[in-house]
Amino acid sequence: MERNLFRDQVVIITGASAGIGRSLALQLAGQGAKVAIAARRAERLEQVAAECRALGGEVLVVPTDVSDEAQCKTLVEKTIEKFGRLDLLINNAGLAASALFDEFPDLHLFRQTMDVNFYGAVHCTYYALPHLKQSRGHVVAISSLGGKAALPYNTPYCASKYAIHGFYDALRMELSSHGVSVTVVCPWWVVTEFHEAQMDKNGVPRGARGRALYTKKMMTADQCAEITLRAAYKRRREVLMGPGALTVWLKTLAPGFVDWLAVKVFLEPAARRAKAAQSEVKS
């Protein structure tokens, strides 16, 4: 990426302790931006901050659980106190729980997913907005292709991402007269810890099962971050990444076909594996 596109810009990044968030922080630091990084894991944030400073970036570390509205307010306040302004908010924090909807023992993980993925972005945007209006700044939301074309086993995650699109589509219109723009980014599969941290119906992280999903065809976090920052610089409305973008296009033309395909690819093989496992137990 061209250097100095974000020089002296003040940026808040949530979910910055690993993956896409970490890559965004490092690339922005290398661009000369002033970065406030937020996530729940304070020790990991400090490691990212040290990497950013090694690139010459000015960094503020604010451990934050974005599901807590008060902590999001504090994040914005500390950023303004440190840097005096805010130009770009990147809502990246997210989590996922994967199971058939009626397999979840209760709705705790469903609510938790909405609290982090959706309300976390709402909280940060609400408190950042007065400052973004002053700077005629920009909001970037890291969503997912799952927020445009849903998949089975992902009802909490897809619901949270569909909500992101609805929220920012409405907000974008409200902000049009204030010079504040919104970019919603929809990555395809990206090699990050996200897949290892994805939970099953009981809230247990996938771990090694998540790592087994990685392939050489998947996008790296650095690649995703670079595409995101180019889109932010150009103030694009929406970015669809990877081959999954074709699914989104097909969904608009033939939604029934896409649903049928998802059932064939995801549901039916899983049902066969479950039946085989039950047969082995009985034998």
Active site residues: 157
Question: CA 72 to CA 137: how far, in whole Å?
Answer: 18
CA distances to 129, 269, 271 from 276, rounded to whole Å, are 53, 11, 9
Of the candidates 197, 181, 233, the residue with the CA atom closest to the CA atom of residue 9: 233
- Asked if 149 and 244 touch (Cβ cutoff 8 Å), the reply is yes
Please give the single-letter amino acid code of residue 19. Answer: G
Question: CA 158 to CA 151: how far, in whole Å?
Answer: 7
Contacts of 138 (CB under 8 A, 6+ apart): 87, 88, 89, 132, 180, 181, 182, 183, 232, 235
Token representation of residue 57: 């970036």
